[in-house]
Structure 1
Amino acid sequence: MKRKFESDMSKSATSKKGHWSAGLLTSMEDPECMVKEDDKIVVIKDKYPKAQFHYLVLPKENILSIRQVKKNHQDLLMHMHEVARGLVEKHTDHEFIMGYHAMPSMQRLHLHVISTDFCSPCLKTKYHWNSFTTPFFLHSSDVSRQLHEEGEVKNISPQKCKDYLNTQLKCHKCTLQPKNMPALKRHILTHIDKQKQ
């Protein structure tokens, strides 16, 4: 995540086709990844899921990221949100969050639909964790409301994004601040065990 984030910060959003940041475009066409499709969107499974369930809702319209969303995309974002809610409803025994990264590393607008167990071998770094558990993660309902009321999605500055990603680790369920990711991941399992009881 750090490498990707720094790369995104230092370059404009015009990466070459075939670059790792354009990987979502390939995944959108991969039958192994695809979950659902309609005339406006494609839903795929994240290739490197950060939780037990991790989907991405992508528009077929070529919108590079949340930073390029305009007022005329309001209906599209609402549709993406409704599709995400439909995915969540299939997993009634899990909690989910739905949202966008404030400064995504991958090209093509994508809405994360991710279970809050955060149980995955792909969840490895503080940057991974903080990208979903700090204000770096823009909740879908907030983004849609802001677009409706203000006609735009306010961008968070690159420095603020970096600060969020560097925030001290903190459990999303309680006040514990573990010293590292292995400790956090062990702690998260205690919450999962409590839910099963």
Structure 2
Amino acid sequence: MKRNRKLDTSEPATSKRNHWTAGLLKSMEDPECIIKKDDKIVVIKDKYPKAQFHYLVLPKEDILSIWQVTRNHQDLLIHMHEVAHGLVERHTSHEFIMGYHAMPSMQRLHLHVISTDFRSPCLKTKYHWNSFTTPFFLHSSDVSRQLHEEGEIKKISSQKCIDYLNTRLKCHKCTLQPKNMPDLKRHILIHTDKTNKILNVCKCI
């Protein structure tokens, strides 16, 4: 997902297919972008991936964002989660997280399925990093459980979202707080290499 050049604290954009926020809608119709589809969902690769593997699971139903989801969408969210798990199972040597952004900038509800190596030239800013490593990122299992138990998803205020995105940089694997993104990206390579070595050893056992 490509984030706007400046932080937008308003509600998600209203449906305008020619606006830049409609990019996902166009990708859903592009055979070259589609990874998988069924009667309920379409899976595409993120055009601006923030990790080595970054997929988006989108419903065919016209749901603008996570904040338009109702109790009636429980089965749909579960299906999206199951599809996401299927994608993760393709990459057994990588760790993944699955979830929604609290302040989405693109039209159509979309579930991020992203590897936690965060190795990508498109991962450039603190906002990019914090959108996946702070409570700004709403984990799929938590969202589904809350909808099931409470009948709704409790909205996070715009100010809280801004606070999360402005949080000081911190490694998602340890307590290091780097000075800037270049320092962080160099540091996380250490964790990625360690994880790959452990997984490779496990495969050999």
- Which bin holds the TM-score, normalised by the shorter protein? over 0.9
Partner of 2:93: 93
* Structure 1 position 92, deviation (Å): 0.6
Mapping for residues 22-171 of structure 1, pairs under 5 Å: 22-171=22-171
Number of corresponding residues:
195
Unaligned runs of 5+ in 1: none
Divergent runs of 4+, >4 A? none
Any conservation in 2 of the 1:4–1:105 contact (CA below 8 Å)? no
2:6 and 2:81 map into 1 onto residues whose CA distance is 26
Write the letter of the residue equivalent to 1:5: L
Q: Match of 2:13, as an amino acid?
A: A
Percent of residue pairs bearing the same amino acid type: 83
**Residue in structure 2 matched with residue 184 of structure 1 by the alignment:** 184
Q: CA RMSD in A?
A: 1.2
Structure 2's unaligned 5+ residue stretches are 198-205
- Asked if 1 retains the 8 angstrom alpha-carbon contact of 2:99 and 2:112, the reply is yes
For residues 38-97 of structure 1, the C-alpha deviation after alignment (integer angstroms, 9 at most, x for no partner) is: 000000000000000000000000000001000000000000000000000111110000
1:3 paired to 2:9: no
Provide the C-alpha distance between the structure 2 equivalents of 1:61 and 1:107, rounded to a whole number of angstroms: 12
Contact kept, 8 Å, 1:2 with 1:127, in 2: the verdict is: no
SS at match of 2:5: helix
Deviation at 1:16, TM superposition (A): 2.5
Distance in 2 of aligned mates of 1:33 and 1:188: 29
The code of the aligned residue for 1:18 comes to N
CA–CA separation in structure 1 for the residues paired with 2:192 and 2:142: 27
C-alpha separation in 1, matches of 2:52 and 2:111: 17
CA drift at 1:4: 5.1
